[in-house]
Amino acid sequence: MNPLQIGNLKVNLPVIQGGMGVAISLSGLASAVANAGGIGVISAVAIGMTEPDYMKNYREANKRALRKEIRKARSLTDGVLGVNLMVAVTDYEDLLTVALEEKIDVIILGAGLPLKMPQYVIDKGFKNIHAKFIVKVSSAKAAKVIFSFWAKNFNYIPDAVVVEGPMAGGHLGFKPDDLNGELVPLGDLVEETVVELNKFEQDFEKEVPVIAGGGIYSGKDMYEIMKRGAKGVKMGTRFVTTNECDASVKFKETYINAKEGDITIIKSPVGLPGRAIKNSFIDRLNSGETEPFKCYWKCLKSCDSKNVPYCIAQALHNAAQGNMEKGFAFAGSKAYLATKIQPVAQVVLELKVEYYKQKYMEYIRNFLGQRLVPEQIKLPNVIPNINIRLA
């Protein structure tokens, strides 16, 4: 397993933990993943909901809470830390400012095209920026739009790209119709994005790693997608059922109790589809009920707050706190595989063992020839567990 190299930043474990809001990936999870060698990511969206004055001072509460969580995470790890920013939120530039002021290592920009981001950074007078900028897209075409715009207007391109497929947890950058029937394979999206970025890499003499996300749950998944050209993976769902994940135990238990058929697509007030675990809250909404709420501020640029049936930020925060009657859990397509809550270090060890089992199984099959290894022999079980030191 090669480290993920983003410019001069070396990440020993090529795993970015997905930022998960509201208040699901804070300093606890992020520092644990960073300590295990990956990039631990704090989700910034509506993070101020963890502060007592959010309803009155939402902007200040968000900035204060983000700063607090970054500093707390930094006190717990010397590893690589990131912040996940959703371009679709009203105060995204405020949160970007805090992340830059706190000298975060990595900034992941998703849920919209961050076309003007470099202009904001220039206008604000930030110089000698330490952070690497990673853009999250759902297609090679979207990557091209961002790269072309930045290249043309700022003579600069992002440092890495996350391409996220339709199996991911959370909001999906796909149209509802794209999620019916056969889904576009993540491996294809990765290959297309690698090809698309080639020209920019040459023009700027800069390597831009493509990182794959969405439905990646095991080390085997990691191995397979990295064979298609991904230099790393982004995983959210797998890190929910960890001791260090900042959500309540009740939230984590919804994953453990979920069956494959419970994982469903919802229509979010954000205007995008999302993947979540079906529960009574979702059933009530599907049957036409609404969850009346008072909108204190329009936290999402696109939210039609007077007409949407519920407040998504509130529902997600309620769920993170364990109030599943008033919320629901976003989850990737493989959330049903969770069986227990375990330490992040254990998850990472399992990922490495699974990855190397897959890799050696492939070597053996290639060496012996496919036909000499009957299908009924499960090579992963034959190959003894490999002791791998945690990075």
Whether residue 137 contacts residue 173, with contact meaning beta carbons closer than 8 Å, is answered with: yes
> In the window 69-108, what residues touch ligand FMN (CB under 6 A)?
84, 86
What is the rounded distance in angstroms from the CA atom of residue 146 to the CA atom of residue 162? 13
State the pairing for strand pair 170-171/273-277: antiparallel
> In the window 306-365, what residues touch ligand FMN (CB under 6 A)?
329-332
Task: Provide the greatest CA pair distance for the chain.
Answer: 69
One-letter amino acid of 119: Q
> Segment near ligand FMN (CB under 6 A), from 3-11, 163-171, 257-265, 280-288?
163-171
Of 25, 140, 125, the C-alpha closest to 84 is: 25
Here's the x/- map for ligand FMN, 195-234, by CB under 6 A: it reads as ------------------xxxx-----------------x
Query: CA end-to-end span of the chain, whole Å?
Result: 11
Of 132, 150, 142, the C-alpha closest to 112 is: 142
CB of 167 to ligand FMN, least distance (A): 6
CB of 202 to ligand FMN, least distance (A): 28
Of 376, 168, 199, the C-alpha closest to 273 is: 168
| Of positions 82, 158, 166, 170, contacts ligand FMN by CB under 6 A | 170
In eight-state DSSP terms, residue 260 is G
Rank residues 232 and 332 by Cβ distance to ligand FMN and give the closer one: 332
CB of 165 to ligand FMN, least distance (A): 8
| Of positions 26, 42, 47, 111, contacts ligand FMN by CB under 6 A | 111
SS3 label, residue 214: coil
What is the rounded distance in angstroms from the CA atom of residue 236 to the CA atom of residue 272? 18
Q: Does 164 bind ligand FMN (CB under 6 A)?
A: yes
What is the rounded distance in angstroms from the CA atom of residue 233 to the CA atom of residue 221? 9
Q: How many residues bind ligand FMN (CB under 6 A)?
A: 29
In eight-state DSSP terms, residue 133 is E
> Do you know the residue count of the chain?
391
Rank residues 241 and 361 by Cβ distance to ligand FMN and give the closer one: 241
Q: Does 48 bind ligand FMN (CB under 6 A)?
A: no
What is the rounded distance in angstroms from the CA atom of residue 264 to the CA atom of residue 278? 6
Of 302, 275, 276, the C-alpha closest to 173 is: 275
| Of positions 27, 43, 193, 254, contacts ligand FMN by CB under 6 A | 43
| Of positions 83, 96, 100, 168, contacts ligand FMN by CB under 6 A | 168
Q: Does 237 bind ligand FMN (CB under 6 A)?
A: yes
Q: Does 24 bind ligand FMN (CB under 6 A)?
A: yes
Q: Does 20 bind ligand FMN (CB under 6 A)?
A: yes
Residue given tokens 């191995």 in the structure block: 223
CB of 384 to ligand FMN, least distance (A): 29
CB of 51 to ligand FMN, least distance (A): 17
| Of positions 222, 235, 324, 344, contacts ligand FMN by CB under 6 A | 235
| Of positions 4, 45, 137, 210, contacts ligand FMN by CB under 6 A | 45
One-letter amino acid of 385: N
Q: Interface with ligand FMN by CB under 6 A: which residues?
A: 18-21, 24, 43, 45, 84, 86, 110-111, 164, 167-170, 213-216, 234-237, 240, 329-332
